[in-house]
Amino acid sequence: MESGMKDDFKNGSIPPPPPASECPPIPANFAIPENEPQVIRELQPLSVTTYPTVKWPESNWRQYLWAYYRLIEKVDARIGEILKALKDSGQDENTIIVFASDHGDGNGSHHWNQKTIFYEEVVGVPFIVRPPKCSHAGTRDKTNLVCMNTDFFPTLFDYAGIKKPDHLPGKSVRDLVERKPNAKGHDFVVSQNDLAPISGRSGKVYGRMLRTSRYKYIRYSKGTHKEQFFDEMLDPGELNDLSLKTTHLKELQHHRDLLDQWLIKENDPFPNPICEEDLHPGPLPTGAD
């Protein structure tokens, strides 16, 4: 279960995992989606340090999940200490609490550990904002689209009464948190990645993801079948790639166009637009609509 990397962050150890039969079950979306872009699995086995899981049996994955949840418990305990200190010092009624993360973890979904990919377990990072005396604490907004990476600082500026610098992207989520009338999230957000097989080293394979409120469109710079397209409402486990079907061609093209327009607007060097031969190489796979 060891990564082989030196650990300089001593937040406490966890005991050895129990037998796999006593560990959490593998996730429902443990399977690799049919006709997944080939570059993902080509790069994954190149580093046993980053991806020691390539040939793991299910028993190892179950123990990995057990260890992951133990680490989450440690994070929860540290957060509890901070909240208690705020309350004991009388500052809890005068403090905005924001909890966020830079990325998630595959957590066993699609046989994936680590980050550097666009599946929801990795990119759906927490962005929890709790102002003082929040009347609906503990609720979750499942309608509006926000982006932690761009909206984090505008939100802090807003609560601090500081004008957001004009060059800073993103927008405050304060109105959403406080449920102000006509508050609205983003129409879409874009994420970028480098499929690096080894930490700190580029894999020279890049990706872009465009997310709207319902759909997620993904495109990679290399490989056969560069696209993925998921309906996040009907397929939250992301097992049914709609870019390989004929049922959602209009919606798929709309998302292609949105990404192409964004790439041009941002002067992004990512390949744009996608070439015709990249769309559906050869006949649709058996079973495609």
Averaged pLDDT of the chain: 88
Q: Domain limits at 218?
A: 23-278
131 half-sphere exposure, CB direction, 13 A CA radius: 15
pLDDT digits (tens, 9 = 90+) for 20-34: 999 999 999 999 988
Q: Is 52 a domain residue?
A: yes
Is residue 9 predicted with pLDDT exceeding 70? no
Question: Nearest Cα to 43, choosing from 175, 193, 152?
Answer: 193
Q: Is 14 a domain residue?
A: no
Average pLDDT, integer, range 149-159? 95
Q: Is 8 a domain residue?
A: no
Question: Nearest Cα to 259, choosing from 247, 249, 274, 248?
Answer: 274
49, two tokens: 């340090």
Residue 228 neighbours by CB distance under 10 Å: 24
Domain count, the chain: 1
- Please give the span between the terminal C-alpha atoms of the chain, in angstroms, as a whole number: 41
Cβ–Cβ under 8 Å, residues 106 and 119: yes
> Residues 6 or more apart from 241 whose CB is under 8 A from it?
33, 34, 35, 36, 228, 229, 230
Average pLDDT, integer, range 210-221? 96
Task: Kindly list the distances between the CA atom of residue 40 and the CA atoms of 32, 114, 118, 133, 194, in Å, as whole numbers in the listed order.
Answer: 11, 13, 10, 45, 11
Of the two residues 3 and 259, the one the predictor is more confident about is: 259
**Rounded distance, CA 97 to CA 78, Å?**
14
Q: What integer pLDDT is reported at residue 5 of this predicted model?
A: 56
pLDDT digits (tens, 9 = 90+) for 163-208: 999 999 999 999 999 999 999 999 999 999 998 877 778 888 999 9
Cα 66–Cα 115–Cα 15 angle in degrees, nearest 5? 25
Question: Nearest Cα to 127, choosing from 102, 158, 106, 91?
Answer: 102
Q: Is 250 a domain residue?
A: yes
pLDDT digits (tens, 9 = 90+) for 45-101: 888 888 899 999 999 999 999 999 999 999 999 999 999 999 999 999 899 999 999
Q: What integer pLDDT is reported at residue 288 of this predicted model?
A: 38
Is residue 278 predicted with pLDDT exceeding 70? no
157, two tokens: 């500026």
Q: Is 220 a domain residue?
A: yes
Cβ–Cβ under 8 Å, residues 92 and 67: no
Is residue 276 predicted with pLDDT exceeding 50? yes
Confidence of residue 289 (pLDDT cuts 50, 70, 90): very low
Can you tell me whether residue 16 is helix, strand or coil?
coil
Q: Is 263 a domain residue?
A: yes
Q: Is 11 a domain residue?
A: no
pTM of the model: 0.87
Can you tell me whether residue 153 is helix, strand or coil?
helix
Q: What integer pLDDT is reported at residue 20 of this predicted model?
A: 97
Residue 53: give its domain's CATH number: 3.40.720.10
Q: Is 237 a domain residue?
A: yes
Question: Nearest Cα to 158, choosing from 139, 174, 176, 136?
Answer: 174
Q: What integer pLDDT is reported at residue 47 of this predicted model?
A: 84
Range with the poorest average pLDDT among 11-25, 73-87, 144-158? 11-25
119 half-sphere exposure, CB direction, 13 A CA radius: 27
> Residues 6 or more apart from 222 whose CB is under 8 A from it?
39, 204, 205
